[in-house]
Chains A and B, each alone.
Chain A
Amino acid sequence: MIAYLCAIGVIALIYCLLALGLNLQFGLTRLVNFGVVAFFAVGAYTSGLLSLQGAPLVVCFIAAGVLSGLLALPIGLLSLRLRDDYLAIVTLGFSEAVRITIQQESWLTNGVQGLPGLPKLFSSWGGGVSDIAIFTVLAVIVGLVCWGTVRLTRSPFGRLLKAIGDDEAALSALGKDPARFKVQVFMVGAALAGVAGAFYAHFITFITPEQFIPLITFYVWMGLVMGGSGTVRGAMFGSLLLMVFLEGSRFAKDWVPGVSEVGMASLRLAAVGLALILVTLYRPNGLFGGSSK
């Protein structure tokens, strides 16, 4: 039971990290990143592949964050100077391009078979203890990111980001260059997703391209918009809600008779779709954020 709770806890914290990254990008700066899973995947594969080459895990994690962040640079430069819906289209296309490339380039990534047998974090401490250790380390990191985000929102830089989200034209009129800040925030959010991917890789220890479908991106979006984007509290609460939903729908299979595993997956997708529609329609500020615009 403790092992199960610990496993859920780790996955929940990984989603928290993704949601916090997206919260920086969308919640604060209104950057529509529909390719969260791309940076998550790049982080997971970077760290996984390096670790298989024998690199120490610390190096792998740093490389995962750095590479994901750097990858966001061209994407950001490409689209952030244009209207904001371009970023949405480009990131969505990017996430599919990344997944297919991972699937096809089997000389590097072992293709659809994926990478089995990745080293687990703290594995030398034995099964149960290593899970608790991963949970603790992740919790500390998530805590630090939360603290950093709150500090950031109160700093001059954070006010600048909020101003970009509110009224970009006014900001340019004040002589600031919004595009530069947008690219920076976009990269930081992507790096967080990359680190989340590294944790995922070295917790699950087996990654395949199928784990990095666009649905993951919209799990994170669903969590963030349900919790209420723009605040750390919203991102954390939303990830928790998401986890309850994901785990709950796994158990629901035992209660709903006559629905197969595949049918259940369809119903889960339907619930995600419906939630995205209903929240945007009726709760734009999150479930508990009031219904005003």
Chain B
Amino acid sequence: MTWIDIANLLINGLIEGLVVALPALAMTLVMGVNRFPNAATGDFLTTGAYAAVAMQMLAGAPLWLAALASVGITAVVSAGSYQLIFRKLVGRPMVASMLAAIGLGFLLRSLISFFAGHDQRTFDMPLVRAWNFGGIRILPTDLLIAAIAAVCLLVVFVLIYRTSFGRQLRAVSDSADLARASGIRAKGLMLCLWLLVGALSSIGGVLLGMKAIVMPEMGWESLIPAFAAMVLGGIGSPVGAVLGALLLCVVQELSVPLLGPSYKLVLSFVVLALVLLLRPAGIMGRVQLVR
């Protein structure tokens, strides 16, 4: 393996990392505020991808418009699921929310596969050739995907760290009781959070679909990597989730020549296990959230 191969893998890993960072961030936000690992995140991704596919196929919308519509649809699905399910499970053991999230995931996935079938689908995109810089190959589509993901991450970080919404969210994440005592209304805040989670997941799903293919299991398959990225970065830490996703995906890509592409998911699990063994708090996390 030459350094050019390594560079190619590295670039691919970083691009994938930016995409995985979106669901990882969505999950870590919910984890920080609602205190459960949202196992339905993967299927929010699938919902987003299929919503965009449907807009393209049925309405003939261009991809950007289809993606925008999908953001809206998935955000509503996500906020609706909070309103109908997770809001009512507040104060119950964590396992209740997690089981309900798994159930919600099954429900979404089955509805999608019932109406759209199990066939693989792709987005209607112009085919472009990769740019070649002396062996280092870069697909313009991949650059576009990376740029969109980066911009979305940036927007979310501005929302979290520079707006009143973000300040309130971080207050609730630190201490829900204290936040309520200082007059923060949880109701609207939670709806906004879950709208944001849905929007993030939808973009993640569309980007994932642009990079590869769209199928009903795509979200479920990216759930474990997103979990691993969240834990690697430190649960509840937005910056950590992004760093974790980048690191995880680079390691995954670099492992491909050795282990083959099928073992990516297993590697996610191994990384997850190693983090829990060596540094359960992750890169950016606080220990008290872990034990």
- A-side residues, CB < 8 A to B, are 26, 30, 32, 34, 78-79, 81-86, 88-90, 92-94, 96-97, 100-101, 103-104, 215, 218, 221, 225, 262-263, 266-270, 272-277, 280-281, 284, 293
Give residues 36-95 of B contacting A (CB, 8 Å): 36-37, 39, 85, 88-89, 92-95
On chain A, the residues within 8 Å of B96 by CB distance are 280, 284
Q: Which residues of A contact B266 (CB under 8 A)?
A: 96-97, 100-101
A32-B98, A221-B99 are contacts. A88–B106 as well, Cβ < 8 Å? Answer: no
Q: Is the CB of B272 within 8 A of A272?
A: no
Contact with A along B223-254 (1 / 0, CB 8 A): 01001100100000000000000000000000
| Contacting pair A85 B36 (CB below 8 A) | yes
Q: How far is the CA of A274 from the CA of B108 in the complex (A)?
A: 10
**Which chain B residue lies CB-closest to A275?**
B103
Contact A82 B276, CB 8 Å, known A88-B98, A273-B105, A276-B99: yes
CA distance A218 to B99 in the complex (A): 9
| A167 → chain B closest CB, angstroms | 12
Known A83-B291, A89-B227, A272-B106: A281·B88 in contact at CB below 8 Å: yes
Which of chain B's residues have a CB closer than 8 A to the CB of A88?
Answer: 37, 95, 98
Closest beta carbon of chain A to B227's beta carbon, Å: 5
Chain B nearest CB from A88 CB (Å) reads: 6
B117 within 8 A of A: yes
Q: How far is the CA of A102 from the CA of B54 in the complex (A)?
A: 35
Known: A94-B269, A262-B117, A270-B114. A86 touches B106 (CB 8 A): no
What are 7 A-B pairs at a CB distance below 8 A? A32-B98, A88-B95, A88-B98, A93-B227, A267-B110, A269-B113, A272-B103
Cβ contacts under 8 Å, B286 to chain A: none
Measured CB to CB, the closest approach of chain B to A100, in angstroms, equals 5
Q: A284 CA to B89 CA in the complex, in Å? A: 10
Pairwise interchain contact B37-A89, C-beta atoms closer than 8 A: yes
B103 touches A104 (CB 8 A): no
B114 cross-chain contacts in A, Cβ below 8 A: 263, 266-267, 270
- Contact residues, B156-177 vs A (CB, 8 A): none
Per the bound structure, the CA–CA distance linking A101 and B259 in Å amounts to: 11
When A97-B266, A277-B85, A280-B89 are in contact, do A104 and B106 touch as well, CB less than 8 Å?
no
CB proximity to A under 8 Å, residues B83-135 = 85, 88-89, 92-100, 102-111, 113-114, 117-118
Q: A269-B110, A281-B88, A284-B96 are in contact. Are A218 and B272 (CB under 8 A)?
A: no
The A contact surface, by secondary structure, is helix
Nearest-Cβ distance from residue B117 to partner chain A, whole angstroms? 7
The answer to whether A85 touches B98 (Cβ under 8 A) is yes
Chain A residues with Cβ below 8 Å from B93 are 30
Residue B212 is within 8 A (CB to CB) of chain A in the complex: no
Verify B103–A273 contact, CB threshold 8 A.
yes
Knowing A78-B276, A79-B276, A100-B263, the reply to whether A84 touches B110 (Cβ < 8 A) is: no
Besides A84-B94, A266-B113, A270-B107, 5 other A-B contacts (C-beta < 8 A): A88-B98, A101-B266, A225-B99, A266-B111, A284-B92
CB contacts (< 8 Å) of B33 on chain A: these are none
Chain B neighbourhood of A276, CB < 8 A: 99-100, 102-103, 106
> Which residue on B lies nearest to A282, using beta carbons?
B88
| CA gap between A262 and B110 in the complex, in Å | 10
A273 and B98 in contact (CB under 8 A), knowing A100-B263, A280-B89? no
Residues of B within 8 A of A79 (CB): 276
Q: B272 touching A262 by the CB < 8 A rule?
A: no
User: Which residues of the partner chain B approach A85 to less than 8 Å between Cβ atoms?
Assistant: 36-37, 94, 98
A280 / chain B contacts, CB cutoff of 8 Å: 89, 96-97, 99-100, 103
Contact A82 B290 (CB under 8 A): yes
Q: Which residue of A lies closest to B106 (CB)?
A: A273
Is B268 engaged at the interface, CB distance under 8 Å to the other chain? yes
Q: Is B273 an interface residue (CB 8 A)?
A: yes
Q: Which residues of B contact A34 (CB under 8 A)?
A: 98, 102
Q: Return the contact of B228 from the options A83, A93, A104, A267 (Cβ within 8 A).
A: A93
* Complex-state Cα separation, A271 to B231, whole angstroms: 31
A277 touches B290 (CB 8 A): no
Q: Is the CB of A90 within 8 A of B272?
A: yes
Q: How far is the CB of A130 from chain B (nearest CB, A)?
A: 35
Determine if B23 is an interface residue (Cβ-Cβ < 8 Å).
no
Contact among A90, A101, A103, A104 with B273 in the assembled complex (CB-CB below 8 Å): A90
How far is it, in angstroms, between the C-alpha of A32 and the C-alpha of B118 when the chains are bound?
Answer: 31
A270 nearest in chain B by CB position: B110
Q: How far is the CA of A95 from the CA of B109 in the complex (A)?
A: 19
